[in-house]
Amino acid sequence: MSEPLVAVDWGTTSLRAALLDGDGRVLAEHASAQGILAVPPGQFASVLAAACAQWERPAGQLVLMSGMVGSRQGWQEAPYCPCPAGFAEVAAQLAWVQDAPPSLRVAIAPGLSCEQDGVPDVMRGEEVQVFGALDLLGLDGGLFVLPGTHSKWVRVQGRRIAHFATFMTGEVYALLRKHSILARTMAQADGALDTQAFTRGVEHARAAGNLLHAAFSARTLSLFGRIQEAALPSYLSGLVIGEELRSQSLDAAQGPVVVIGSDALTARYELALQCLGVRAQTVGPQATWRGLWSIAQTLEQA
């Protein structure tokens, strides 16, 4: 049995922390809206101390953090670790925080970078979720999807992240949903997911092969009365997620497909993948705690 760990997922708009025992079990959790954009300069140490003040901690307690806290806008920049990268590479490149609160040893996991067609790609925090999912599911490889504002598709081979790609799916959905001409015929509230309209969107995105064209169908189908206005947000969601899926190689021979995220979002991706005949596994946000815990184990063993 190893030492307890404080694991922190510190993003742009939220702070989540957990106290884990030596076996990686979650003993307590804390969440607040104190994302890095809400922390005044010089106040990161006190915000962290307050976040885990209610937990009994030994002197020299290890705190491992991931997410945008390691970006230029965060507490301390943790330079990106280039792919391929696994537990060992990330553990070796932890950024140890200089102005940690008294009696805490605080480190930030580096984000990952990779390169394709002469263009870099980056992520911060998702790599830790992938590591956690690997451990929770007992996998060595596969294709990992982390849906969100900027979705990540991560290819893992031999417990190392070989490559990944970002898709601005959530952000483009929100822009089309709220600010484009398509918004004019859509209700303000999203309502429950209309699965039929959603899968219709997924399939049309694949047939059209280009979201700039496919998105216009949300307007024309409405204009010709061929879709209910209430179903349009679900249809548009299917179009953008379908567009994201269109670019993935989902060959089963390359290993399982795993979706990591909240229930609502993973359910949409499971459904979209089903349209393509792919059965995905899912893992919830606890993947972060498991990932940080596994990095801490690697650190102990190093």
Binding site for a copy of itself (CB under 8 A): 117, 119-122, 150, 165-169, 171-172, 175-176, 179-181, 204, 207-213, 215-217, 220-221, 223-224, 226, 240, 243-244, 246-247
Whether the CB-CB separation of 146 and 166 falls below 8 Å is answered with no
Nearer to a copy of itself, 135 or 244 (CB): 244
Rounded to the nearest 10 degrees, the angle between the axes of helix 195-208 and helix 263-275 is 50
Nearer to a copy of itself, 182 or 292 (CB): 182
> Which residue in the block uniquely carries the two structure tokens 């398509």?
182
Give how far the C-alpha of residue 47 lies from the chain's centroid of Cα atoms, to the nearest Å. Answer: 23
Task: Output the smallest distance, CB 75 to a copy of itself, in A.
Answer: 18
Bridge partner list, 245: none
Task: Output the smallest distance, CB 204 to a copy of itself, in A.
Answer: 6
Task: Output the smallest distance, CB 279 to a copy of itself, in A.
Answer: 23
Nearer to a copy of itself, 119 or 253 (CB): 119
Among 84, 88, 67, which residue's Cα sits nearest to residue 76? 67
Residue 117 token pair: 């067609």
Nearer to a copy of itself, 175 or 230 (CB): 175
CB-based contacts of 184, cutoff 8 Å, min separation 6: none
Nearer to a copy of itself, 172 or 283 (CB): 172
Task: Output the smallest distance, CB 35 to a copy of itself, in A.
Answer: 15
The values of phi and psi at residue 11, to 5°, are -105, -170
Task: Output the smallest distance, CB 168 to a copy of itself, in A.
Answer: 5
Task: Output the smallest distance, CB 290 to a copy of itself, in A.
Answer: 27
Whether the CB-CB separation of 205 and 214 falls below 8 Å is answered with yes
Among 178, 123, 174, 126, which residue's Cα sits nearest to residue 149? 174
Nearer to a copy of itself, 222 or 282 (CB): 222
- CA pair distance 125, 297, nearest whole angstrom: 18
